[in-house]
Amino acid sequence: MKKTKILVVGNGMVGHKFIENMLNSPQAETFDIVTFAEEPRLAYDRVQLSSYFSGSTAADLMLTSEDYYRSNGVHYVLNEQVTEIQPENNCVITASGRKETYDKLVLATGSYPFVPPLPGREQPHCLVYRTIEDLEAITESAAQSKIGVVVGGGLLGLEAANALKNLGLDTHVVEFAPRLMAVQLDEGGGLVLRKKIEKLDVKVHTEKNTQEIVAGEKCRYRMNFADGSYLETDMILFSAGIRPRDELARNASLSVGERGGIVVNNFCQTSVANIYAIGECALWSGRIYGLVAPGYQMAKVAVSHITGGADQFVGADMSTKLKLLGVEVASIGDAHARTPGALSYVYQDGINEIYKRLVLSPDGKKLIGSVLVGDTEVYGNLLQICLNGMDVPEAPEQLIVPASDGQAASGLGVDALPETATICSCHDVSKGTICCAVRDGATTIGAIKSMTKAGTGCGGCVALATQVMNSELTKLGVEVNTDLCEHFPFTRQELFHLVRVEKIQTFDALIEKHGRGLGCDICKPTVASILASCWNGFIMKNELAPLQDTNDYFMANMQKNGTYSIVPRIAGGEITPDKLIVLGQVGKKYNLYTKITGGQRIDLFGAQLDDLPAIWQELVDAGFETGHAYGKSVRTVKSCVGSTWCRYGVLDSVGMAIAIEERYKGLRAPHKLKFAVSGCTRECAEAQSKDVGVIATETGWSLYVCGNGGMKPRHADLFATGLDDATLLKYIDRFLMFYVRTADRLQRTSVWMDNLEGGLKYLKNVVIDDKLGIGADLENDMQRVVDAYQCEWKSTIGDAEKLKRFRTFVNSEKRDNTVVFVEERNQIRPANEDELVRFVTSTELETA
Amino acid sequence: MNAAELREIWVDVCESHELLPELGARALVNGEQVAIYRVRDNLYAIDAIDPFSKAAVLSRGIVGDLKGQLVVASPIYKQHFNLQTGACLEDNTVSVKTYPVREVGGRIQIGM
Ligand code: SRM
Ligand SMILES: Cc1cc2nc3c(=O)[nH]c(=O)nc-3n(C[C@H](O)[C@H](O)[C@H](O)COP(=O)(O)OP(=O)(O)OC[C@H]3O[C@@H](n4cnc5c(N)ncnc54)[C@H](O)[C@@H]3O)c2cc1C
Ligand code: SF4
Ligand code: FES
């Protein structure tokens, strides 16, 4: 049977969604899919575009891969624009002159950023914000600019302003209307938003009508406004709305709207029956939808129609919840109360700059709209009440007024929602689907995300999805067991608090008071780490000794054959030739395998227990300290050579790396901690893959947090920019101590942050804005740890009693005969099992 | 009198005070590596060689209790061994040898 050929023009978010849905349909086999993409890559997540400025790469943003397309038999051509449709011939022509026929044509061409026709708009450094290439151009321009202006104070404009701010520019927003986000917000909301944004040092200019862009006096350009005023700037980012890309349809005489947009019916068909239009280029019932969720619905409808289904597109909800420049903003339904006779409730908190408005139907029973600025916690609930046509409570103001105990109003609760209620509109996930996932074993929001995709789009539904999950878990009688182990009915965090608050100093005291039994290899090291973080006592103290893993106990890393490796600290990776020689001599004398580690230091492997003290005596004499390679503690601060030598370096990255390593060495934590400092944005130290990453810029240090390599690599998030040395260390002090205090056992910083309610933003609140008022406390705690530091090895080799521990046998001077080495590449390595058998047999024969 | 005391050969390994509570020690007894522990004033001794890694590391594991059994956790791959029976909790086909152990006149002794 001949397959039906579907040609998709545009491989953006919606075009890709269409293809994905098509491939997932039961009839997938009966179709051939071809797609032309004008951009140099397949679909990526435009919604998360701004995260590019906080560390995401183009690869992170990809929604699919060429592999996926190839293995599913989808033909794709990148960098290929379709220039003409010939509906009468059922074919299209591309820019390179290629002609391609189709049975069904799907237009998913999206939209382009509207640039007002101002004289001077076509100069360099006048940019738009839509594609990855745009982002690259913005980054490049920002590097040569000090001041940046965003034209347009709508949703995208504010996001663009955020980007400029992140790039370190003095940022301005110029808006034609009298307020920000005029489409989504009412006057009250717009005002509060403006105040909040101005506090962040973004200058807002409303009611400014730009007339022309001319050469500036102080800056590159000057923007002249209709009212005679002007603004000087080095770069301009236009974000003055979008226009549907309907030129192909228009030239092929398909019907288009008066103000643009390809007219479609409820099945997403255009005026030519075998041509569909979906996403931002489509005009349905006189409306263009500039959001991704309605586009996804259209994709679904078009697939359904092509495969013989009956789905219809009947409009979409335009409610949005966003974080703009860290300010929470949400708008639901009829935000402007345009419905005749609509009633409103407004809650305004001038001190905390919170604005909330409820718009009710004329009978006061139904919620038809809402505006929330500064606090959007109730968004999920309100949206559900609105979308599901539920009755509001007797006193509707309850929905937005904070409860008297300071907790946010809880609204109606997720239990009241019908199973069909859409929780995640980005991925069209219903309450029922989430509950199902819980019944199938999901108990964390991470599992919900991977099983249902809910929360992986704009992220706006995560709080609500979590509530649904928790409520379902409770219903199933599942109590998520967060106990550390059978000996302690507490989490690590809870134990940490108990230890601190009750000033508990020993494991025995803790288990007697709050636990049961003897303890195990889970709780003992955990408690040892807590005691060390809190009081930073000497880890070789007798009471602590039985709690430690062998690595901590012998202060070396056990290898597969029971020998140990030795990693002296080489702060910042800087080492003198003399010290290098010592390492070489020690390695040679004790016959150790030596290797440069991935952490810019040198590891000596294969030491027998009873050699450790002598080896360390030599190392300590030469000025080395322990590198804590064995502990859940600060490992390395990787550095690049920085401004001292490198022609591009802007600050002394080695100096800072050493300062950081010296400060935090010895800190015990829930998991290991890795740092790096780069001397410029070329990032040779790979700081963005570390728990704490520091990158030098012209305006000071940029701080990144919560990255890691390892099993599940994660890019660090940009945390703060333009820091001087003191502020940098202050933030790191607070960040680390807060992590030490609140993270779970073996939770690295990334996982910890992902599980913190409020995530990165909350962390910034705590560390930068000191929202909890514990900043000084955290710094003091850190100072105490810093002051109590001692090199564990140095203290140990001075203590004859402790050195006894390093005997191989309590009753013999003999060495461990299970340790057998063979030679490879001129160094030792542990014998493998085969070699071991052969070796043992031959020595036995010899002695026999 | 229990079975252990019926043994003929008791090998003296160290002073009592050298065996610290919940910290294993290793002794070489007739060419065999033995891990010895003191837990709540009782003594236990098992083969020091971890059957999973073949390394002589069991004296260096963390001692504790799991589901009512006294255990030591191997520091290499973290399996648990019952100090009284030598049985591996994770794999019932694997166990380590146990040795009689006693304290006499301030000395620790292993029965062979
Ligand atoms: C020696 C070294 C490999 C090398 O030869 O280069 C190494 C060796 C070990 N790594 Fe590593 N890692 C080494 C650099 C790294 C790096 C690279 C880096 O630090 O830049 C990574 C990825 C970066 C990261 O951690 O974010 C790395 C990710 C891991 C992981 C996975 C962590 C994760 O979050 O997924 C583990 C497992 C763990 O910690 O639970 C691990 C665990 C280990 C252990 C401790 C495994 C073990 O228990 O035996 C290894 C023993 C070290 C020893 O015996 O001395 N090692 N390990 C490196 C020592 C660096 C140092 O100077 O301290
Ligand atoms: C910075 C930013 C932030 C956003 N934030 C949000 C948000 O928080 N929530 C939300 O819902 N929405 C948001 N959006 C909007 C969302 O990205 C769009 O609604 C969505 O991308 C629309 O998908 P689409 O496939 O219709 O268009 P697009 O994703 O733009 O894809 C269209 C593709 O077609 C290609 N194309 C066009 N013409 C041709 C041709 N002739 N031949 C070949 N290829 C062609 C284009 O190059 C493009 O790759 C944001 C947009 C931006 C730019
Ligand atoms: S990061 Fe920059 S300063 Fe550092 S070595 Fe690389 S190029 Fe030089
Ligand atoms: S609503 Fe956007 S991710 Fe769920």
Compute the mean pLDDT over every residue in chain A, rounded to the nearest whole number.
Answer: 90
For residue A650, the domain's CATH number is 3.30.413.10
Name residue A566's beta-bridge partners: A604
Q: How far is B6 from chain A (nearest CA, A)?
A: 23
How far is the centre of ligand 1, averaged over its atoms, from the C-alpha of A713 (Å)? 13
pLDDT exceeds 70 at position A581:
yes
A454: alpha, beta or left, given left = phi > 0 and alpha = psi -120 to 50? beta
Do A758 and A653 share a structural domain?
yes
Say how many residues make up chain B: 112
Contact B13 A818 (CB under 8 A): no
Q: Are residues A156 and A250 in the same domain?
A: no
User: In this structure, are A153 and A137 located in the same domain?
Assistant: yes
Task: Report the pLDDT averaged over residues B36-54.
Answer: 94
Contact B62 A518 (CB under 8 A): no
Q: What is the pLDDT of residue A147?
A: 96
Can you tell me which atom of ligand 3 is nearest the CA of A647? 8
pLDDT band at residue A832 under the 50/70/90 scheme:
confident
Distance from CA of A520 to the nearest CA of B (A): 4
Share of chain A above pLDDT 70, in %: 95
Instruction: Name the one residue in this structure whose structure tokens are 């010899």.
Output: A846
Return the ligand number nearest the Cα of A685. Answer: 3
* A350 class by beta-carbon count within 10 Å (0-12 exposed, 13-18 middle, 19+ buried): exposed
Which pLDDT value is given to residue A836? 75
Kindly give the number of the ligand 1 atom that is closest to the alpha carbon of A638: 20
pLDDT in tens, A187-210: 888 999 999 889 888 999 999 999
Q: How many domains does chain A have?
A: 3
One domain for residues A297 and A181:
no
Most B CBs within 10 Å: which of A609, A803, A811, A821, as the mutation test of the B interface? A811
Residues A372, A328 contacting (CB under 8 angstroms): yes
Place A848 in a pLDDT band, splitting at 50, 70 and 90. Answer: very low
Let me know whether A178 and A298 are in one domain: no
Give the residue from A306, A324, A342 where a domain finishes: A306
Residue A775 and residue A641 in one domain: yes
Q: How close is the Cα of A752 to the center of ligand 2, in Å?
A: 33
Do A33 and A92 fall within a single domain? Answer: yes
Type of residue found at A843: T
Best of B62, B107, B110 to mutate (most A CBs within 10 Å, chain A): B62
Q: Which residues in chain A are closer than 8 Å to B80, comparing Cβ atoms?
A: 521
CA distance B101 to chain A (A): 15
Q: How confident is the model at residue A410 (pLDDT cuts 50, 70, 90)?
A: very low
What does the pLDDT average to over A103-128?
95
Establish if A588 belongs to a structural domain. Answer: no
pLDDT of residue A254: 96
Domain-wise residue ranges, chain B = 3-111
My answer on whether A29 and A102 are in the same domain is yes
Instruction: Kindly tell me if the per-residue pLDDT of A411 is higher than 80.
Output: no
Pocket test for ligand 1, best of A557, A566, A612 (most atoms within 8 A of CB): A557
Domain co-membership, A682 together with A749: yes
- A321 C-beta closer than 6 A to ligand 2: no
End-to-end CA distance of chain A: 80
Q: Which residue in the set A546, A547, A558 is minimally distant from B76, CB to CB?
A: A558
Statement to judge: residues A59 and A170 lie in one domain: no
> What's the pLDDT score for residue A841?
54
Q: How far is CA B107 from CA A644, B1, B8, B12, B110, in A?
A: 63, 19, 17, 7, 10
Please give the helix or strand (H or E) that residue A152 lies within, else none. Answer: none
Protein residues with CB under 6 Å of any ligand 3 atom = A 640-642, 646, 648-649, 653, 678-680, 682-684
Q: The CATH number of the domain where A33 resides is what?
A: 3.50.50.60
Contact A520 B73 (CB under 8 A): yes
For residue range A496-521, list pLDDT tens digits in order.
888 888 888 889 999 998 999 999 99
Higher pLDDT, A476 or A402: A476
Quick one: A645 and A781 in the same domain? yes
A543, part of any domain: no
Q: How far apart are CA A376 and CA A460, in angstroms?
A: 10
- Chain A residue numbers with beta carbons less than 8 Å from the beta carbon of B62 are 520-521, 524-525, 546-549
In short, whether A16's Cβ falls inside 6 Å of ligand 2 is no
Q: How far from chain centre, in Å, is Cα A841?
A: 56
Nearest CB among A519, A550, A809 relative to B60 is that of A550
Q: What is the mean pLDDT of residues B96-101?
A: 95
Q: Give Cβ neighbours of residue B21 (< 8 Å, ≥ 6 apart).
A: A546, B38, B39, B40
Which alpha helices (DSSP H) does A418-544 contain, by range? 431-439, 445-452, 462-475, 492-501, 507-514, 523-535
Which chain A residues are within 8 Å of B74, Cβ to Cβ?
Answer: none
Per the CB < 8 Å rule, is A810 touching B75?
A: no
Please indicate, yes or no, whether residues A61 and A164 belong to a single structural domain of this protein.
no
A→B contacts (Cβ < 8 Å), by residue, are: 486-487, 517-521, 523-525, 542, 545-551, 553-554, 558, 560-562, 804-805, 808-812, 814, 816, 818-819, 833, 836
Range of the domain at A288: 4-111+244-306
Residue whose CA is closest, atom 1 of ligand 4?
A424
Residues of chain B positioned with their CB less than 8 A from the CB of A562? 53, 55-57, 60, 76
Last residue of a domain, one of A257, A284, A306: A306
Of A197, A218, A240, the residue at which a domain comes to its end is A240
Contact B18 A545 (CB under 8 A): no
The verdict on a CB contact (< 8 Å) between A818 and B25 is no
The answer, yes or no, to whether residue A847 has pLDDT greater than 50, is no
Q: Exposed, middle or buried: residue A161 (CB in 10 Å: 0-12, 13-18, 19+)?
A: buried
Mean pLDDT of A301-316: 93
Lowest mean pLDDT among A137-141, A436-440, A637-641: A436-440
Among A325, A12, A359, smallest CA distance to A181 is for A325
Q: Which CATH number fits domain B3-111: 3.20.20.70, 2.102.10.10, 3.30.70.260, 3.40.50.300?
A: 2.102.10.10
